Chain A
Amino acid sequence: MSGEEEENAAELKIGDEFLKAKCLMNCEVALILEHKYEQLQQMSDDPMNQVSQVFEKSLQYVKRFSRYKNPDAVRQVREILSRYQLAEFELCVLGNLCPETVEEAIAMVPSIKSKGRAYDDEAIEKMLNDLSLIKKFE
């Protein structure tokens, strides 16, 4: 990143290394951490003692803030959002916050309306509809 002052996720300025990095939605992290925790449970009587504070707090957080619980639904959310040529970061913010209207989606991820991006309100609306359908059928 050229200078820390310039970081602004709203304009998708988060540094090249993070633009290329894979971001994960809360629901995806929940699946991974829960699986890790189960593995520990099988090996130890007191698994909470085996994990770091960072792990414990993150697990509590993603359990509370996952919009989708079912692993199939989680996979579908990523698959559907991947069709819309979003940056990883944008994809995950949308999957985490599940905006209900086009206006709300743009407020949460202003970069989707920035110059040179091809989204009209109709495309965003369709994306949000697809997302709410997964929730309905979960």
Chain B
Amino acid sequence: MFLKVQCPWNVIIPAENLDANELMLQKSIITRLLEDFAGKRATKELGYFLAITTLDSIGEGKVRQNTGDVLFPVVYSAITFKIFRGEVLEGVVHKVLKHGVFLRCGPVEHIYLSSVKMPDYRHLPAENPVFLSDKMSKIEKDVVVRFIVIGTKWLEAEREFQALVSLEGDYLGPVS
């Protein structure tokens, strides 16, 4: 699910970039915030960070001792993507393996659908392997699949989420 969230952040402006002109100072704060944001990627709590939509407030700057840099507490709004257990989503198959398939959904790269969680489908080995059901519905590379999320995992080192998904339920499966 895409979310609109509000986040606090501390922007540090080096002493040499300080400007008495308010507009110039605001510009430095925004530039610095965007740089910091670009390196953020994702957090466990809020998910993947897509883009800042607005800068909602700039607090009073505090001079840091020793360096003379000034720290401005700011609040901004951003769009994030977080994957929830129990959520129904659509994703695209990018790899078919013997025991299941990997899907992509938004910024999430590793979504695994195990063959155990699609009991109606059988693996057909070939140059382009597929999973085929008795009703001839087909799961192969680049097919869109609607699934339900049964588990999510946050990887701190990679700063990414992985998810386990299932087709056990009504109205789940490949979407034409």
The answer to whether A58 and B48 have CB atoms under 8 Å apart is: yes
Interface centre among A57, A58, A89, A97 (most CB of B within 10 A): A58
Q: Does B5 contact A (CB under 8 A)?
A: yes
Number of residues in A with C-beta < 8 Å to the partner? Answer: 40
Chain A contacts for B170, CB-based, 8 A: 103-104, 107
Closest Cβ neighbor of B90 among chain A residues: A65
Q: Does B53 contact A (CB under 8 A)?
A: yes
Q: Does B1 contact A (CB under 8 A)?
A: yes
The answer to whether B41 and A9 have CB atoms under 8 Å apart is: no
Q: How far is the CA of A116 from the CA of B90 in the complex (A)?
A: 29
Chain A min CB distance to B45 (Å): 8
Number of residues in B with C-beta < 8 Å to the partner? Answer: 34
Q: Does A24 contact B (CB under 8 A)?
A: yes
Q: How far is the CA of A2 from the CA of B105 in the complex (A)?
A: 27
Q: Which 10 A-B pairs have the closest CB atoms?
A: A9-B86, A10-B86, A8-B86, A9-B87, A22-B4, A9-B84, A24-B2, A107-B170, A54-B107, A61-B106
Given A7-B86, A108-B88; 17 other pairs, CB 8 A cutoff: A11-B86, A13-B86, A18-B1, A28-B2, A32-B53, A32-B79, A33-B51, A36-B51, A52-B41, A54-B49, A55-B51, A58-B2, A58-B106, A92-B1, A93-B87, A103-B170, A104-B170
